[in-house]
Structure 1
């Protein structure tokens, strides 16, 4: 399949945004708010800084919002009539594209909820009723909904490709896990880089240590998992399919079939869009670059940050640059190495 920049940009950038929102949601559902009770009143003291969303998570929420929105807008670039994109939402019963669009829009609901809670924490009792800010369960549920919506959206995006049986490289059980793993990895790389920025709030020393250790360790784990999934995926799609031209025209019972002349004298839309091929030797080189940049480099830099904490900020941003470059290359290969079954009709040899 011919790689399209708008789709590559959409899947990578929005995936990173949803990865960030996943982490922000989990942080609120499992860790924050760590509110303290006011001994005088016995109620939650919203003035205590530890009760508020850490500035790193605030930046992560904002970055996720920008990335998700930019990705969704870029997905309209390849449409002939972008103003009719809303019609895609009507086929949710059978279309993963419709489900993705609905899930993407629904994800903004809990994201907006967390934003309103954050605004309320800046001015307790004015923008948001204090009762809501003191309701720890509500904050945790909102975070859990954001995390769930992010996972569902990426899951739907991956299934848009995984459900296409005519494209053997996409109709693979590892496509969905790969998309989810890459979204989590890119989100974790972004969160680690944002955590390295100067903060405007105070954080206890114990929590500071957790941030500096937990995030690099998580990057290593996710990089290893993502690389393992991708290697297994490449191994599967490299196996011969056994399909030939006879399968494409329904004459497989006759054995090998060869056409005496090409169906077209020049390139047409199908051969242009679905017949894109990349030389095997170039594919192997690009795969190696993808592994080194997207997975090995971030893991090595994260290990370096654990061993030498003073280099944490430098390692985090360099890992983000390398990791995102590798993921962009991986997504380009995801399209470039895929061939539609219709191409069997135009050639005497299969995949």
Structure 2
């Protein structure tokens, strides 16, 4: 699949944003985070800013971005439409939670309930985003048991590392949160390696023979269907060299997983305010690594329609 940057940024930014928003909602709603004005303003501003930037970025891949609102009408049958509806609904409890935290300085009572609802809505939205890709049967690399859990894992991973950076910056960090960040990053690393291993061994069940119904022989095209590149080849038939893929996988592992774990370990050994720098760097590096990971997620996917073009 063609890895358009708008969609790559959308999946990365919203995943991190919703992950951070869910953690703020749960921990804030349970009064496990102090209702500090600047912490609430910065944390919720960052989370909602990432979500909004990602959603706006996703419209850049549309032929007519001004018609993006029409996607909301197909929520009964389309995961894309459900994702849009869920993302908008999430802003309602998130707004109430933000008002209570920032303007009233409290996270208990109705503010806490709004925080829990915000977390629930964020989790549902991440799930609908994952299902956009997991539900696509023509793309075997996505239509697997690894796609949807991967979205939840990476959202929790990036969200927790962002939260740790915020907490360390405001001198309210905790060893428990640091340990959770390391654990989630290691789990994400293992999940990504397992997914790659599965995809590399994947045998596409559909061939030119089964697609045409002409079993018993070898079906091949006598000439190319088109004389020049078309939309299907550009969007569905993107190819990446094996050596480039291997190099980008190493970059992903270094930036998204290995370096953040190392920086988080350094954070645990430093007192405040020195612990803030490696925490922020870990979040920044991990976000960059997840951009590479998302690019590969699209670039390595193969659509069944490419069989028509002899690929």
TM over 0.5: yes
Alignment-derived partner of residue 107 in structure 1: 90
How many Å separate the matches in 2 of 1:266 and 1:76?
27
1:189 to 157, 161, 164: 161
Name stretches of at least 5 consecutive residues in structure 1 with no aligned partner: 34-49, 123-132, 200-207
Instruction: State the shift of 1:81 in Å.
Output: 2.2
How many Å separate the matches in 2 of 1:63 and 1:82?
25
Two-structure CA RMSD over aligned residues (Å)? 1.9
Higher alpha-carbon deviation: 108-117 or 73-82: 73-82
How many Å separate the matches in 2 of 1:140 and 1:257?
62
1:280 to 242, 246, 253: 242
Alignment-derived partner of residue 16 in structure 1: 16
The question of 1:30 aligning with 2:2 is answered no
Instruction: State the shift of 1:22 in Å.
Output: 0.7
Number of residue-to-residue matches in the alignment: 309
Instruction: State the shift of 1:198 in Å.
Output: 4.6
1:225 to 187, 195, 200: 187
TM-score by length of 1: 0.83
1:8 aligned counterpart, secondary structure: helix
Alignment of 1:1-351 (within 5 A): 1-32=1-32, 52-53=35-36, 55-121=38-104, 136-198=108-170, 208=172, 211-242=173-204, 243-251=206-214, 253-309=215-271, 311-347=274-310
Please say if residues 40 and 98 of structure 2, whose CA atoms lie closer than 8 Å, have aligned partners that are also in contact.
no
Greater Rg by CA? 1
Please say if residues 212 and 309 of structure 1, whose CA atoms lie closer than 8 Å, have aligned partners that are also in contact.
no
How many Å separate the matches in 2 of 1:250 and 1:30?
59
Higher alpha-carbon deviation: 63-72 or 255-264: 255-264
Please say if residues 17 and 66 of structure 1, whose CA atoms lie closer than 8 Å, have aligned partners that are also in contact.
yes
Name stretches of at least 5 consecutive residues in structure 2 with no aligned partner: none
Please say if residues 19 and 156 of structure 2, whose CA atoms lie closer than 8 Å, have aligned partners that are also in contact.
yes
How many Å separate the matches in 2 of 1:232 and 1:92?
32
1:342 aligned counterpart, secondary structure: helix
How many Å separate the matches in 2 of 1:182 and 1:284?
21
How many Å separate the matches in 1 of 2:301 and 2:271?
42
Please say if residues 43 and 163 of structure 2, whose CA atoms lie closer than 8 Å, have aligned partners that are also in contact.
yes
2:60 aligned counterpart, secondary structure: coil
How many Å separate the matches in 2 of 1:136 and 1:5?
40
TM-score by length of 2: 0.93
How many Å separate the matches in 1 of 2:20 and 2:262?
22
